[in-house]
Structure 1
Amino acid sequence: MAQEYIAVKQKNDLGLIAISKSVFQTIAEIEVEEEENVALAEATPFKSPLGCKITDDRLYLSVDIKVMYNANVNEICAKLQNKIYDSIKHMSEYAPDVIDIKVTGFLF
């Protein structure tokens, strides 16, 4: 069953520390915005370009992007995956299990 958060530490006498999936989406969005030859795909009424799913404390991210027409797509996608992974791990001490980058179009 999908969850809305990931527990960072086990519950103790003081409570439970958890991170919402919107935090992971925001981190991914910031990384896409910082990349030069990439932009987030447009949102549709039924789908956001940033998806996050948490199942059994496993984090799955999907990012729909558009790439500049003269850029190396493979290199940009690999670099973006690594940046998102590193940022999430650095900021939350949690490693994403899957980061799926989907190129939906090109920027001219």
Structure 2
Amino acid sequence: MAQEYIALKENNDVGVIALSTAAFQAIAKNVIDEEENLKLAAGSKPFKYPLSCKIVNDQLILNLDVKVKYSVNVNDTCSKVQGKIFENIEHMTGYTPDVIDIRVVGFIF
């Protein structure tokens, strides 16, 4: 069953620290906005956002629909962005994402 937050497993006498899926989405969106060779695709259906985050069985799953600039190497660009998203989430939250799925749905001309 999907949750809307994930509890970090840190020893804390005061309570439990939990992060919402919106926090992970914001981090991924910031990485995409910084990259000049790709951008988030526009949602094809109403109320469908091109960046989704789910937590299933304590696994963080990110799905991104992007458009890549026509003149760049798609594989290298997506690998670089995937690595940056992984590093930023790990650095900012202390949690390592399990799946970062980048789907290229078009090109920017």
TM-score > 0.5 by shorter chain: yes
RMSD: 1.3
TM-score between both structures, scaled by the size of structure 2: 0.93
Q: How many angstroms apart in 2 are the aligned matches of 1:10 and 1:57?
A: 15
Alignment size in residue pairs: 108
Q: How many angstroms apart in 2 are the aligned matches of 1:75 and 1:12?
A: 40
The corresponding residue for 1:6 is 6
Per-residue deviation at 1:9?
Answer: 2.7
Mapping of residues 51-90 of structure 1, within 5 Å: 51-90=52-91
Q: How many angstroms apart in 2 are the aligned matches of 1:106 and 1:6?
A: 34
Q: The residue matched to 2:103 in structure 1 has which SS?
A: strand
Structure 2: segments with no counterpart, 5+ residues: none
Identity, % of aligned positions: 56
Q: After superposition, give the CA deviation of every residue in 1:8-65 in whole Å (9 maximum; x if it has no partner).
A: 1368652221000000000000000000111100023142100101011110000110
TM-score between both structures, scaled by the size of structure 1: 0.94
